[in-house]
Chains A and B, each alone.
Chain A
Amino acid sequence: DADVTQTPRNRITKTGKRIMLECSQTKGHDRMYWYRQDPGLGLRLIYYSFDVKDINKGEISDGYSVSRQAQAKFSLSLESAIPNQTALYFCATSGGIGAANEQFFGPGTRLTVL
């Protein structure tokens, strides 16, 4: 079984809809991250969490919110989806004190907002 899983893997939705992307991990890592990837822009950090009680904004958090329900679960919500949120979304985990430790990525969620 995969260590980092994401659901759904693909989603098509309409403008204005609320969407939740879920991430679960069995690696026992404290740190979890949400990124989006767009062609020509690379991965950009949306939110990150160092433990259940710690949530931090990344560089592009506007229009997104997150919830860390447990050490193993970190969900990303789009309260009112818009077309420019169409992207490939990745969840990642790391176990180290600094980002110098390897980040392990989930398989990604491909989101299309019409």
Chain B
Amino acid sequence: RKEVEQDPGPFNVPEGATVAFNCTYSNSASQSFFWYRQDCRKEPKLLMSVYSSGNEDGRFTAQLNRASQYISLLIRDSKLSDSATYLCVVTGNTGFQKLVFGTGTRLLVSP
């Protein structure tokens, strides 16, 4: 089983739609959780950290469910510029808590 699993998509949605991605992780000892965004052929960039209480940043909401070992990302009012691959990232169980990256979920927002 992969340490971090995501639906690769693509998720095709029209502008203005609400879309949600889930990600499951296998290491129950993981302490930190993130969503990174990666545009085609570009470097990943941190979108938001995911806190136990859930957190919101504008149109983006991230939630963590430790019992079921999944995190989610909700995007409201999708924009064309939201088209990208969204990487689920968790910390591993080594001494320095290395980051473990999911393979990403691709989102395509159309006019």
Residue numbers of A with Cβ under 8 A of B are 40-45, 48, 50, 56, 58, 88, 90, 98-100, 102-103, 105-108, 110
Enumerate chain A residues within 8 angstroms of B75, measured Cβ to Cβ: none
Q: Report whether B43 and A107 are in contact in the complex, using a CB–CB cutoff of 8 Å.
A: yes
Q: A105-B43, A105-B45 are in contact. Are A99 and B103 (CB under 8 A)?
A: no
Residues of B contacting A: mostly: loop
Q: Which residues of A contact B87 (CB under 8 A)?
A: 42-43
Contact residue range for chain B? 20 to 34
B53 to chain A, nearest CB (A): 16
B98 lies within 8 A of A99 (CB): yes
Known: A105-B45, A107-B42. A100 touches B98 (CB 8 A): no
In whole angstroms, how far apart are the Cα atoms of A41 and B49 in the complex? 22
What's the Cα separation between A50 and B98 when bound, in Å?
12
Q: How many residue pairs at the A-B interface have CB separations less than 8 Å?
A: 51
B104 touches A42 (CB 8 A): yes
Tell me if A103 and B46 are in contact (CB < 8 A): yes
Per-residue interface assignment for chain B, residues 36 to 54, with 1 indicating a CB less than 8 Å from any chain A CB and 0 otherwise:
0000011111100100000
Q: Would A48 and B43 count as touching, CB distance under 8 A?
A: no
B98 touches A48 (CB 8 A): yes
Q: Quick one: which of B4, B44, B96 contacts A105, CB cutoff 8 A?
A: B44
B97 interfacial contact with A, CB 8 Å: yes
A40 touches B31 (CB 8 A): no
Q: A42 touches which one: B42, B49, B103 (CB < 8 A)?
A: B103
Most central of B45, B102, B103, B104 by chain A CB within 10 Å: B103
Known: A90-B43, A106-B43, A107-B42. A98 touches B101 (CB 8 A): no
Q: Chain B residues near A103: list those with CB within 8 A.
A: 46, 99
A-B contact pairs, 14 of them (CB 8 A): A40-B103, A42-B87, A44-B101, A48-B96, A88-B41, A98-B32, A98-B96, A99-B32, A99-B96, A99-B97, A100-B31, A102-B46, A103-B99, A105-B45
Contacts of A100 in B (CB 8 A): 31-32, 49, 91, 97
